[in-house]
Amino acid sequence: MSITVNNEIEKTVAVLSALANSRQVIANVEALAQQVTKALRAGNKVLLAGNGGSAADAQHIAGEFVSRFNFDRPGLAAFALTVDTSVMTAIGNDYGYEKLFARQIEAVGRPGDIFWAYSTSGRSPNILRALEVANERGLFRVGFTGNHPEGVAEMRARTDLCIEIPSTSTPKIQEGHLVCGHIVCGIVEENIFAS
């Protein structure tokens, strides 16, 4: 079956419709927005990480917090752990790729911070290790994943909150992650700055 534009749009609509009808996803997105609001108001920060397209998602959401989302306001403390090539290559070379994000959390993570972890499969070793370190350091841990049964179980076991996109297709999971991330950004911005 060849890819058609209409077919791909329909697949995306189906995933978004499933999201809109999932009480669990809606409750978790709302809970995450409140947790991020609380952390930022207390002077904490949001640390985000993922691999490949999920690295881009981490950077995208960090940018929305730091710059702006719906309106002009002061920047919010958010950092993608995927952008410093010197740090990443040093950790990868000296400690191995599995510790790529864990080592950074050891360096900058503080109790009350949020670690926002993307893994579409739920099984990325460097994300799972980073979640363990975040737990040891007292960070609030949120996982953004898909609907792979083994991966969902791995992410649930290591997070305080897990946003699960109802799909096993990596592109569709990432599309769902972006929608949920944008919603969180909008709620947080409004919570902190709208009067």
pLDDT at 58: 98
For residue 179, is pLDDT > 80? yes
Confirm whether residue 64 is marked as ligand binding. Answer: yes
Structural domain contains residue 76: yes
Query: Average pLDDT in the 58-86 region?
Result: 97
Element (H, E) at 80: strand 78-80
Mean pLDDT of the chain: 96
CATH number of the CATH domain containing 76: 3.40.50.10490
Cα separation, 46 vs 66, whole angstroms: 10
Residue span of the structural domain in which 80 resides: 25-190
Both tokens of residue 84?
A: 């410093």
Q: What is the pTM of this model?
A: 0.96
Structural domain contains residue 19: no
Percentage with pLDDT > 70 across the chain: 99
Structural domain contains residue 14: no
Confirm whether residue 60 is marked as ligand binding. Answer: yes
Confirm whether residue 170 is marked as ligand binding. Answer: no
pLDDT at 1: 58
Structural domain contains residue 10: no
Query: Average pLDDT in the 28-41 region?
Result: 98
Confirm whether residue 120 is marked as ligand binding. Answer: yes
Environment class of residue 60 by beta-carbon count within 10 Å: exposed (0-12), middle (13-18) or buried (19+)?
A: middle
Structural domain contains residue 20: no
Both tokens of residue 111?
A: 């109790």
Confirm whether residue 121 is marked as ligand binding. Answer: yes
**Are residues 62 and 79 in contact, defined by beta-carbon separation less than 8 angstroms?**
yes
Element (H, E) at 141: strand 140-145
Query: Per the structure, how many domains does the chain have?
Result: 1
Confirm whether residue 191 is marked as ligand binding. Answer: no
Q: How confident is the model at residue 149 (pLDDT cuts 50, 70, 90)?
A: confident
Query: Average pLDDT in the 137-156 region?
Result: 94
pLDDT at 45: 98
For tokens 């960090």, the residue is 62
pLDDT tens readout for residues 80-122: 999 999 999 999 999 999 999 999 999 999 999 999 999 999 9
Structural domain contains residue 15: no
For residue 155, is pLDDT > 90? yes
Structural domain contains residue 83: yes
Confirm whether residue 119 is marked as ligand binding. Answer: yes
For tokens 């207390």, the residue is 42
Confirm whether residue 124 is marked as ligand binding. Answer: yes
Percentage with pLDDT > 90 across the chain: 95
Q: What distances in angstroms separate CA 146 from CA 66, 157, 176, 177, one per listed residue?
A: 26, 15, 9, 9
Q: How confident is the model at residue 2 (pLDDT cuts 50, 70, 90)?
A: confident
The three-state secondary structure class of 111 is: coil
Confirm whether residue 175 is marked as ligand binding. Answer: no
**Are residues 86 and 93 in contact, defined by beta-carbon separation less than 8 angstroms?**
no
Structural domain contains residue 182: yes
